[in-house]
Chains A and B, each alone.
Chain A
Amino acid sequence: DARVTQTPRHKVTEMGQEVTMRCQPILGHNTVFWYRQTMMQGLELLAYFRNRAPLDDSGMPKDRFSAEMPDATLATLKIQPSEPRDSAVYFCASGLVLGGRPWDEKLFFGSGTQLSVL
């Protein structure tokens, strides 16, 4: 079964440290999303890539967060410096959008990275 792979599954770090989360989308998918989920806010979109180009990162705090896709098989989300309020589950999802057609493909989510910033 094709799946989205996220690493690490769990990360505990101290405030001020850099955190890097990685995502391997499903082979052939051309869209990648980063979401953050907390009990209070639900799923918040942080960044959205299509064909490795960032299309929307308006949900991401720019001063400390950055998202990249160095190649089609890897997406990264970095937080530097991390803060306790960044504690959440970070999900990566991938999907396939075919140009000009309404979205009719489902999103596949990774298992998430549980981040705790002390």
Chain B
Amino acid sequence: RKEVEQDPGPFNVPEGATVAFNCTYSNSASQSFFWYRQDCRKEPKLLMSVYSSGNEDGRFTAQLNRASQYISLLIRDSKLSDSATYLCVVMNSGGYQKVTFGTGTKLQVIP
């Protein structure tokens, strides 16, 4: 089983739709969680951190469920510019903070 798993998609949604992605992780000791966004042929960039209490940034909401070991990203009112691959990132504690990326979920917002 992979340490971090995501549905690769693609998710094809119309403009204005709400879309949600999940990401599961296998290490219960995982400590920090993030969503990164990667545009085609570009480097990944941080979209938002994921806090235990959940957090919101404009149209984006991230949630963490430690009991079920998954994090989610909700995008409301999708824009064409949201089209990208969304990468889930999990960081583990221990001797060093191991950083593991999911393979990403591709989102295509359609006019």
Contacts and interface: CB of A to CB of B under 8 A. Distances in A.
Contacts of A56: 96, 98
B97 A41 contact: no
A99 to B, nearest CB: 11
Please classify how large the interface on chain B is, using the bins under 10, 10 to 19, 20 to 34, 35 or more: 20 to 34
Contact of A42 (B45, B49, B101): B101
Contacts, number: 54
Interface residues of A, number: 21
Contact of B32 (A48, A50, A55, A103): A103
B103 A107 contact: no
A103 B99 CA distance: 10
A91 B98 contact: no
B91 A103 contact: yes
Nearest to B85: A42
Interface in B64-111: 87, 89, 91, 93, 95-104
A42 B89 CA distance: 12
Contacts of B43: 91, 109-112
B3 to A, nearest CB: 10
28 contacts: A42-B101, A42-B102, A42-B103, A43-B44, A43-B101, A43-B104, A45-B99, A45-B100, A48-B96, A48-B98, A48-B99, A56-B96, A56-B98, A102-B31, A102-B32, A102-B91, A102-B93, A103-B97, A106-B34, A106-B46, A106-B49, A107-B44, A107-B89, A107-B99, A109-B44, A110-B43, A111-B42, A112-B43
Interface of B: 31-32, 34, 42-46, 49, 87, 89, 91, 93, 95-104
